[in-house]
Amino acid sequence: MSFHHWFLYVLVIVTLIGVPGPSAVLCLTHGARHGGRRAIATVAGGVLAALTLMLLSVLGVGALLAASATLFTAIKLLGALYLLYLGISAWRSSAPALSGVSLDSGEIEVRPLRKLFGHGFMVGVGNPKDLLFFGALFPQFVDPHQAIVPQLLLLALTWVVADFSIMSSYALMGRRIAAFFTRLGGSRLFNRVTGGAFIAAGGALALSSR
Protein backbone atom coordinates (compact mmCIF):
# COMPACT_ATOMS: atom_id res chain seq x y z
CA MET A 1 0.00 0.00 0.00
CA SER A 2 1.43 3.34 -1.04
CA PHE A 3 1.54 6.36 1.27
CA HIS A 4 -0.84 8.12 -1.12
CA HIS A 5 -3.50 5.42 -0.74
CA TRP A 6 -3.03 5.28 3.03
CA PHE A 7 -3.37 9.07 3.36
CA LEU A 8 -6.52 9.00 1.24
CA TYR A 9 -7.87 6.27 3.52
CA VAL A 10 -7.15 8.48 6.56
CA LEU A 11 -9.07 11.38 5.04
CA VAL A 12 -12.02 9.12 4.25
CA ILE A 13 -12.31 7.53 7.69
CA VAL A 14 -11.73 10.76 9.64
CA THR A 15 -14.64 12.28 7.73
CA LEU A 16 -16.84 9.23 8.29
CA ILE A 17 -16.04 8.87 11.99
CA GLY A 18 -16.24 12.59 12.66
CA VAL A 19 -19.81 12.94 11.40
CA PRO A 20 -21.98 12.59 14.55
CA GLY A 21 -23.78 9.27 14.73
CA PRO A 22 -25.15 7.02 17.50
CA SER A 23 -21.69 6.25 18.93
CA ALA A 24 -20.74 9.93 19.02
CA VAL A 25 -24.01 10.81 20.76
CA LEU A 26 -23.43 8.04 23.30
CA CYS A 27 -19.87 9.21 24.04
CA LEU A 28 -21.11 12.79 24.38
CA THR A 29 -23.92 11.74 26.71
CA HIS A 30 -21.68 9.58 28.88
CA GLY A 31 -19.11 12.36 29.00
CA ALA A 32 -21.78 14.73 30.30
CA ARG A 33 -23.24 12.36 32.86
CA HIS A 34 -20.19 10.43 34.05
CA GLY A 35 -17.24 12.66 33.22
CA GLY A 36 -14.95 12.64 30.21
CA ARG A 37 -12.33 10.36 31.74
CA ARG A 38 -14.81 7.65 32.71
CA ALA A 39 -16.49 7.93 29.31
CA ILE A 40 -13.23 6.73 27.75
CA ALA A 41 -14.56 3.28 28.70
CA THR A 42 -17.49 3.95 26.36
CA VAL A 43 -15.04 4.93 23.63
CA ALA A 44 -13.07 1.73 24.19
CA GLY A 45 -16.24 -0.33 23.84
CA GLY A 46 -17.02 1.32 20.52
CA VAL A 47 -13.47 0.73 19.25
CA LEU A 48 -13.69 -2.97 20.18
CA ALA A 49 -17.03 -3.15 18.36
CA ALA A 50 -15.40 -1.72 15.22
CA LEU A 51 -12.56 -4.25 15.44
CA THR A 52 -15.11 -7.04 15.88
CA LEU A 53 -17.01 -5.95 12.78
CA MET A 54 -13.77 -5.68 10.80
CA LEU A 55 -12.80 -9.23 11.79
CA LEU A 56 -16.24 -10.61 10.97
CA SER A 57 -16.15 -8.82 7.62
CA VAL A 58 -12.76 -10.32 6.78
CA LEU A 59 -14.04 -13.76 7.81
CA GLY A 60 -16.92 -13.45 5.36
CA VAL A 61 -19.82 -12.67 7.68
CA GLY A 62 -20.39 -9.46 5.76
CA ALA A 63 -20.90 -11.45 2.58
CA LEU A 64 -23.29 -13.75 4.45
CA LEU A 65 -25.36 -10.78 5.59
CA ALA A 66 -25.38 -9.42 2.06
CA ALA A 67 -26.78 -12.74 0.85
CA SER A 68 -29.29 -13.32 3.66
CA ALA A 69 -32.02 -10.70 3.89
CA THR A 70 -33.55 -12.42 6.94
CA LEU A 71 -30.33 -12.44 8.97
CA PHE A 72 -29.54 -8.85 8.01
CA THR A 73 -33.03 -7.69 9.01
CA ALA A 74 -32.93 -9.55 12.33
CA ILE A 75 -29.60 -8.00 13.38
CA LYS A 76 -30.67 -4.59 12.11
CA LEU A 77 -33.91 -4.64 14.15
CA LEU A 78 -32.07 -5.71 17.30
CA GLY A 79 -29.67 -2.81 16.87
CA ALA A 80 -32.55 -0.41 16.23
CA LEU A 81 -34.40 -1.59 19.34
CA TYR A 82 -31.30 -1.04 21.46
CA LEU A 83 -30.94 2.52 20.15
CA LEU A 84 -34.62 3.17 20.84
CA TYR A 85 -34.15 1.83 24.38
CA LEU A 86 -31.21 4.20 24.92
CA GLY A 87 -33.23 7.08 23.51
CA ILE A 88 -36.24 6.50 25.74
CA SER A 89 -33.97 6.03 28.76
CA ALA A 90 -32.16 9.30 28.03
CA TRP A 91 -35.43 11.15 27.44
CA ARG A 92 -36.88 9.99 30.75
CA SER A 93 -33.72 10.21 32.86
CA SER A 94 -33.01 12.93 35.37
CA ALA A 95 -31.08 15.94 34.17
CA PRO A 96 -27.27 15.91 34.37
CA ALA A 97 -26.15 17.48 37.64
CA LEU A 98 -24.76 20.63 36.07
CA SER A 99 -26.87 23.53 37.33
CA GLY A 100 -24.83 25.66 39.70
CA VAL A 101 -21.97 23.17 39.63
CA SER A 102 -18.51 23.94 38.35
CA LEU A 103 -17.56 21.76 35.38
CA ASP A 104 -14.31 20.98 37.16
CA SER A 105 -15.90 20.12 40.48
CA GLY A 106 -15.98 16.40 39.79
CA GLU A 107 -19.64 16.04 40.82
CA ILE A 108 -20.64 13.35 38.35
CA GLU A 109 -22.86 10.32 38.27
CA VAL A 110 -20.72 7.24 38.90
CA ARG A 111 -21.52 4.11 36.92
CA PRO A 112 -19.31 0.99 36.68
CA LEU A 113 -16.84 1.26 33.83
CA ARG A 114 -17.88 -2.16 32.53
CA LYS A 115 -21.41 -0.84 31.95
CA LEU A 116 -20.13 2.18 30.06
CA PHE A 117 -17.90 -0.13 28.03
CA GLY A 118 -20.84 -2.45 27.36
CA HIS A 119 -23.06 0.38 26.12
CA GLY A 120 -20.30 1.55 23.80
CA PHE A 121 -19.81 -1.95 22.42
CA MET A 122 -23.51 -2.65 21.92
CA VAL A 123 -24.17 0.60 20.05
CA GLY A 124 -21.09 0.09 17.89
CA VAL A 125 -21.77 -3.53 17.02
CA GLY A 126 -25.53 -3.18 16.55
CA ASN A 127 -25.47 -1.92 12.95
CA PRO A 128 -25.04 -4.74 10.41
CA LYS A 129 -24.50 -2.16 7.67
CA ASP A 130 -21.06 -1.55 9.16
CA LEU A 131 -20.13 -5.12 8.29
CA LEU A 132 -20.99 -4.44 4.66
CA PHE A 133 -19.23 -1.09 4.91
CA PHE A 134 -15.93 -2.59 6.00
CA GLY A 135 -16.27 -5.29 3.37
CA ALA A 136 -16.66 -2.61 0.70
CA LEU A 137 -14.14 -0.09 2.10
CA PHE A 138 -11.04 -2.17 2.73
CA PRO A 139 -10.65 -3.66 -0.78
CA GLN A 140 -10.50 -0.12 -2.21
CA PHE A 141 -7.21 0.50 -0.41
CA VAL A 142 -5.55 -2.93 -0.51
CA ASP A 143 -2.91 -3.61 -3.15
CA PRO A 144 -3.49 -7.20 -4.36
CA HIS A 145 0.13 -7.42 -5.48
CA GLN A 146 1.41 -7.03 -1.92
CA ALA A 147 0.92 -9.10 1.23
CA ILE A 148 -2.72 -8.72 2.23
CA VAL A 149 -2.59 -9.31 6.00
CA PRO A 150 -0.10 -6.51 6.84
CA GLN A 151 -2.19 -4.08 4.79
CA LEU A 152 -5.39 -5.10 6.60
CA LEU A 153 -3.62 -4.72 9.95
CA LEU A 154 -2.48 -1.23 8.97
CA LEU A 155 -6.00 -0.24 7.91
CA ALA A 156 -7.46 -1.61 11.15
CA LEU A 157 -4.83 0.10 13.33
CA THR A 158 -5.36 3.40 11.53
CA TRP A 159 -9.11 3.11 12.09
CA VAL A 160 -8.59 2.37 15.80
CA VAL A 161 -6.37 5.43 16.30
CA ALA A 162 -8.77 7.72 14.41
CA ASP A 163 -11.87 6.27 16.07
CA PHE A 164 -10.42 6.46 19.58
CA SER A 165 -9.14 10.01 19.10
CA ILE A 166 -12.37 11.43 17.65
CA MET A 167 -14.74 9.64 20.01
CA SER A 168 -12.59 10.65 22.99
CA SER A 169 -12.97 14.26 21.89
CA TYR A 170 -16.75 13.84 21.95
CA ALA A 171 -16.57 12.29 25.42
CA LEU A 172 -14.33 15.04 26.80
CA MET A 173 -16.61 17.73 25.37
CA GLY A 174 -19.71 16.20 26.95
CA ARG A 175 -19.80 18.26 30.15
CA ARG A 176 -19.31 21.57 28.36
CA ILE A 177 -21.95 20.82 25.74
CA ALA A 178 -24.40 19.73 28.43
CA ALA A 179 -23.74 23.00 30.26
CA PHE A 180 -24.42 24.88 27.03
CA PHE A 181 -27.83 23.22 26.71
CA THR A 182 -28.49 24.02 30.37
CA ARG A 183 -27.99 27.72 29.67
CA LEU A 184 -30.25 27.49 26.63
CA GLY A 185 -33.34 26.06 28.19
CA GLY A 186 -32.95 24.10 31.35
CA SER A 187 -30.88 21.08 32.22
CA ARG A 188 -33.42 18.60 30.87
CA LEU A 189 -33.00 19.93 27.35
CA PHE A 190 -29.76 17.98 26.97
CA ASN A 191 -31.58 14.72 27.71
CA ARG A 192 -34.34 15.61 25.27
CA VAL A 193 -31.86 16.34 22.47
CA THR A 194 -29.68 13.25 23.01
CA GLY A 195 -32.69 11.00 23.60
CA GLY A 196 -34.30 12.29 20.42
CA ALA A 197 -31.05 11.66 18.52
CA PHE A 198 -30.96 8.03 19.67
CA ILE A 199 -34.63 7.52 18.77
CA ALA A 200 -34.08 9.07 15.34
CA ALA A 201 -31.02 6.89 14.77
CA GLY A 202 -32.93 3.78 15.81
CA GLY A 203 -35.80 4.64 13.49
CA ALA A 204 -33.42 5.33 10.60
CA LEU A 205 -31.64 2.02 11.18
CA ALA A 206 -34.93 0.11 11.32
CA LEU A 207 -36.07 1.65 8.02
CA SER A 208 -32.72 1.32 6.25
CA SER A 209 -31.95 -1.24 3.59
CA ARG A 210 -28.73 -2.85 2.46
In tens, the pLDDT along 64-93 reads 556 667 766 776 677 677 667 767 776 776
Q: What is residue 105's predicted lDDT score, i.e. its pLDDT?
A: 42
pLDDT 10s digits, 99-148: 333 343 444 556 788 999 999 999 888 776 677 677 777 777 777 778 88
Which pLDDT score, from 0 to 100, does residue 144 have? 73
**Per-residue pLDDT, 106:** 43
For all residues of the chain together, what is the average pLDDT?
Answer: 76
The whole-number pLDDT of residue 66 equals 62
pTM reported for the whole predicted model = 0.71
Q: CA 23, CA 98: separation in Å to the nearest integer?
A: 23
- Higher pLDDT: 158 or 135? It is 158
Cα–Cα distance between 163 and 193 in angstroms, integer? 23
pLDDT of the residue at 100:
36
Q: Taking 90 as the threshold, does the pLDDT of residue 162 lie above it?
A: yes
Question: Sign (positive/negative) of CA torsion 107, 109, 111, 113?
Answer: negative
Closest CA to 123 of 13, 25, 192: 25
**What's the CA gap between 55 and 61, in Å, rounded?**
9
